[in-house]
Amino acid sequence: MDVSTLPPPVTHESDTCAVVRAILARVGDKWSILIVRMLGDGSMRFSELRRSIEGISQRMLTLTLRNLERDGLVERTVTPTTPPRVDYELTDLGRSLQSITEAFGRWAVTHRDQIENARIRFDARQ
Amino acid sequence: MDVSTLPPPVTHESDTCAVVRAILARVGDKWSILIVRMLGDGSMRFSELRRSIEGISQRMLTLTLRNLERDGLVERTVTPTTPPRVDYELTDLGRSLQSITEAFGRWAVTHRDQIENARIRFDARQ
DNA sequence: CGGTATCCGTTGAGATACTG
DNA sequence: CAGTATCTCAACGGATACCG
């Protein structure tokens, strides 16, 4: 058996940390999660996303979608009509991320008060 | 029964999204997850963290720890000796976050290759 | 409609020096 | 040892204008 083909058994955790950190940096930006969640209900076109995500600029929507597409989380489909039509939908990879963000969402909702209270107490001490 | 006292039953998901986004922004920064994971093994003092987290500056370690403390994820204990000793450890709230970050970590490790390949293909198309 | 390109203010984060 | 203060530069992100 060739040992070199074994997955590294997480000898030093920093590897894993670096990966987690990279993913979080990717999906932890201002708009990615919001977009992934919106697309969770099915394919949407650019202007739909733009309208349904309050406060996002056209530039940031484009940039965020490009990054998600680059990472293989979102697929972009162009229909070259006039006017052009561009649809976005989650890939299998993108959908696999959903359960994680949902777990995160439940944690956030469950603990939001604890965090809020901790902040109030902390700020009061200063 | 006063309807106004009922928690909003997530009529529109944007509320939840905002919370998730805020938490991700908090814990999705460059160093927080790394610190939470280091502290997962038990209490550590400032200089220990500094040495074990490669590349972090003293300033960013201080700032990140302060933010984690403010949100109630980390507890700071000062022992006023000379030289002073400051220990950091996860609170219950911080530990409750661990299972989430671990799930995230498993997802990241499992799909890192898919993401990497998606990037390579995307960049090749440009 | 679905983008790019450009400008510009705000924030993030490293380097360095100083302090109780 | 465990910070704080200051400086600096880069990245993020909004506003606006233009294009196929």
User: What pTM value is reported for the model?
Assistant: 0.85
Phi (first) and psi of residue B27, to 5 degrees: -100, -5
Which residues of chain A carry a pLDDT beneath 50? Answer: 1-12
Sorting pLDDT into bands at 50, 70 and 90, what band is B11?
very low
Closest CB to B71: pick one of A24, A104, A115. A115
Domain that includes residue A115, residue range: 3-125
**B51 inside 8 A of chain A by CB:** no
**A107 inside 8 A of chain B by CB:** yes
| Span B91-121, pLDDT tens digits | 999 999 998 888 888 998 899 999 999 999 9
Sorting pLDDT into bands at 50, 70 and 90, what band is B14?
low
Tell me how many domains chain A contains.
1
B16-30, B35-49, B57-71, B100-114: range with lowest mean pLDDT = B16-30
Percent of chain B with pLDDT over 70: 88
What CATH number does the domain containing B76 carry? 1.10.10.10
Asked whether strand C has any atom less than 7 Å from the CB of B57, the reply is: yes
Is pLDDT above 60 for B9?
no
Helices assigned H by DSSP within A3-125? 14-27, 32-39, 46-52, 58-70, 92-125
CA A107, B57, B44: angle at the middle one, nearest 5?
Answer: 60
Is pLDDT above 90 for B66?
yes
Protein-covered nucleotides of chain C (CB closer than 7 Å) are 1-6, 12-17, 20
**A92 inside 8 A of chain B by CB:** no
